[in-house]
A = this chain, B = another copy of it.
Amino acid sequence: MISIGIVGYGYWGPNLARCTSESERCQLVAIADQSPAALARAGKRYPAVQLHQDWRDLVADPAIDAVMVATPVSSHFEIAINALRAGKHVFIEKPITPSAFEARLLIEEAAKRNLRLMVDHTFVYTGAVEKIHELVTTDAIGDVFYYDSTRVNLGLFQRDVNVIWDLAVHDLAILDHILDLAPVAISASGTGHFSGRPENMAHLTVFYPRGVVAQINVNWLAPVKVRQTLIGGSKKMIVYNDLDPIEKVKVYDRGVTVGGGSDDITELMVSYRTGDMWSPHLSFREALIVEIEHFADSIENGTAPMTDGHSGLRVVEMLEAAMRSLRQNGAPIDLMPLARAS
């Protein structure tokens, strides 16, 4: 049983609190938030839990094994580094930090103290992404050609991060998990339609070796919600629609085979394959509970979580490169070859 303290009870903190309570692997013992109203809500819902207005008091509590950080991104580093220094395992909302520099400091600190550092890349723990990961790594879809994601809705405009840091981060985390490839370069463009505000729509292209490419379309100002990803492979292709309540993942036995020469001057020798479609049954266990129990496992067994600090760092490096490209209207930014933790 891991004793958990949560810092931040705004938008996501209540979900962490609920799932931590429901899991039999963890015990929620403390919540910190600088807002008295947020603390009052937490206290009404969890009467037995310790409440703190200053997160430093929570971090100082010797009864706590692990700290979950669900505050605005700008404060992630300070809270997390102090929690690690106090000997706590740390679980941080995505993105792990506002800069790769800070993420590296956290990784070092955790390694030095032999503590677990985990980033909350929630989608990695869904039944859908788990199934896609299986389809990719078992070669069921063949060579991956592309990943093309549309993630748009009428979303909460945020003050301190733009739509890339808010939404594209999910796709970058999924890509980091399912592809065994380090990205080579990123091109991004984006626009803010309200002056002095962060970009509310953007598009990223991530270039990988061997012509593999990822496209990510994100938008806070869309009339309808779309969460659809196409994944093309040499053998099969996947449609992942996260809004479908049941059939989130569909696998299509479709594709083309490009042959040799042809006398026709306008068409290639291409044969098309259009076979069955198959929608595998998925686990519908709530991802956040799966993830929190994975965190508990990694603490108990001393093993690296799937979405450890290195994973968080790689995603932040991509976000930083995307921001640089965006400032240059899409000029490609090279990424240093990133060592894969695996």
Interface of A with B (CB < 8 Å)? 10, 47, 72, 145-146, 148, 150, 152, 154, 156-160, 185, 187, 189, 191-194, 197, 201, 203, 205, 207, 211, 213, 215, 217, 219, 221-225, 230, 232, 234, 237-239, 245-247, 250, 252-256, 258, 262, 264-268, 270, 272, 274-281, 325, 328-332
Q: Which residues of B contact A272 (CB under 8 A)?
A: 154
Q: Provide a sorted-by-A list of 10 A–B residue pairs whose CB atoms are within 8 angstroms.
A: A72-B265, A72-B266, A148-B219, A154-B274, A157-B256, A205-B330, A215-B217, A224-B230, A224-B239, A330-B330
Asked whether A203 lies within 8 Å of B201 as measured between CB atoms, the reply is: no
Asked whether A254 lies within 8 Å of B154 as measured between CB atoms, the reply is: yes
CA distance A156 to B255 in the complex (A): 11
Residue from the list B197, B223, B238 in contact with A230, Cβ < 8 A: B223
State the copy count for this chain: 4
Known: A224-B230, A224-B246. 12 other contacts (CB 8 A): A145-B221, A146-B221, A154-B254, A158-B266, A159-B267, A189-B332, A192-B211, A219-B230, A224-B252, A276-B280, A278-B278, A330-B332
Residue from the list B193, B265, B332 in contact with A331, Cβ < 8 A: B332
Residue from the list B159, B189, B255 in contact with A187, Cβ < 8 A: B189
Asked whether B281 lies within 8 Å of A279 as measured between CB atoms, the reply is: no
Q: Are A191 and B239 also in contact (CB < 8 A) when A224-B252, A277-B279, A332-B329 are?
A: no
Asked whether A237 lies within 8 Å of B223 as measured between CB atoms, the reply is: yes
